[in-house]
Amino acid sequence: MPINFNQIWQQWGDADKFSGVFSVYDEKGPLFEKSGGFRNRNENLPNNSDTAFAIASGTKMFTGLAVCKLIDDGKLSLEDKIHDILSYDLGQIDERVTVFHLLTHTSGIGDYIDEEDPDCGDKLQALNEKYPVYLWKRLEYYLPMIAPLPPKFEPGKRYGYSNAGFIMLGLVIEAVSGIPYQQYVQDNIITPCGLTHTGFYSMDVLPGNTALGYMQDEETGQWKSNIFSMPIVGGSDGGLFTCAGDLNKLWRAVFSNKILSEEMTQSFLKAQVIRDDKRSYGLGVYRTRQGSETIYYAVGGDCGVDFFTAYFPKQKIVASALGNTDLNTYPLFEAMVSTVDV
């Protein structure tokens, strides 16, 4: 039976609290869309279908595509060791770490935002106090936060989600391409795919119809923006802004081999690391199985940011939820997966 998007929305317990855009596209255009809340609370400017939102770690899919593009062009390989590519002092990063390890979260390098650490939130706050977010513009700035950290495990031993690993991939992209990471993504993914409201926008000069992220004070209930909690310019592990329509274009570009060759696209999408009996990871993209069908997706979350986007190949639909609060929209994705007609 086809997915009943309205039923999924109505049964989601937090629909009345949602601030953002939830949209579903097929090949012809929007099938279902709900917008709620405000992109600017002080001026009561509502979110709408074209509003751009920060997507946090959803950026990693763009980074994965960028690395695969360089491989496609013969400028890089999965087996290349990052110590052979980067001229920086890489401190305690294991000399065996390869591009493949970084792309698949199997490098084991120490993470400046270690989401496996139960004290991650407190440590991130301390990190922001030591390294003010208004200075987080260039990827080199992250190195003193990463290089001195001891490895968590040997390269290739297991899957361990790594923000630091994707920062290192951004530095690899810069070293191989000779241009800043953000410019490479702009030139090779954003512009060719016609993504007109997507970019690494600076937090102090956001373009029109772009949502501020908001956090609610637990004691006072007051909403405040996340401008002092996020890097001023996004990097290769997070911080890109985009909108629902552009995500639809991106997924269809991936699956029509517009960004990568057919062979490289298959490598990007292929299960490279098995996480459990249903979930796996490619070269920058998540995968989950429902019956015989594989669904591809990316997720992200940060202060005042919540995000997922997914492609359902059998139905040829793109579903995305872009939120500008901490409200968790992942249950919408799980409900869609559970009702897929396989």
DSSP readout, 84-144? HH--S--TTS-TT-BHHHHHTT------SS-TTSTTHHHHHHHHHHHS-GGGTTSGGGGHH
Smallest CA-to-CA distance from 255 within 246, 245, 267, 265 is with 265
Helix crossing, 59-72 with 163-177: angle to 10°? 40
d(CA 194, CA 277): 36
Q: What confidence score (pLDDT) does residue 341 get? A: 64
> What is the distance between the alpha carbons of residues 66 and 130, in angstroms, rounded to a whole number?
30
CA 123 to chain CA centroid, Å, is 21
pLDDT value of position 1: 56
The alpha carbon of residue 171 and the mean position of all alpha carbons in its chain are separated, in whole angstroms, by 17
DSSP states of 32-61 as a string? EEEEESEEETTTTEE--TT-BEE-GGGHHH
Q: What tokens were used for 202?
A: 């600076």
Q: What is the pLDDT of residue 216?
A: 94
Candidates 123, 62, 54; CA nearest to 326 is 54
Structural domain containing residue 221: 5-338
Render each residue's pLDDT in the chain as its tens digit; 342 residues. 578 899 999 999 999 999 999 999 999 999 999 999 999 999 999 999 999 999 999 999 999 999 999 999 999 999 999 999 999 999 999 999 999 999 999 999 999 988 888 888 888 888 888 999 999 999 999 999 999 999 999 999 999 999 999 999 999 999 999 999 999 999 999 999 999 999 999 999 999 999 999 999 988 999 999 999 999 999 999 999 999 999 999 999 999 999 999 999 999 999 999 999 999 999 999 999 998 899 999 999 999 999 999 999 999 999 999 999 999 999 999 999 998 765
CATH number of the domain residue 13 falls in: 3.40.710.10
In the chain, the number of structural domains is 1
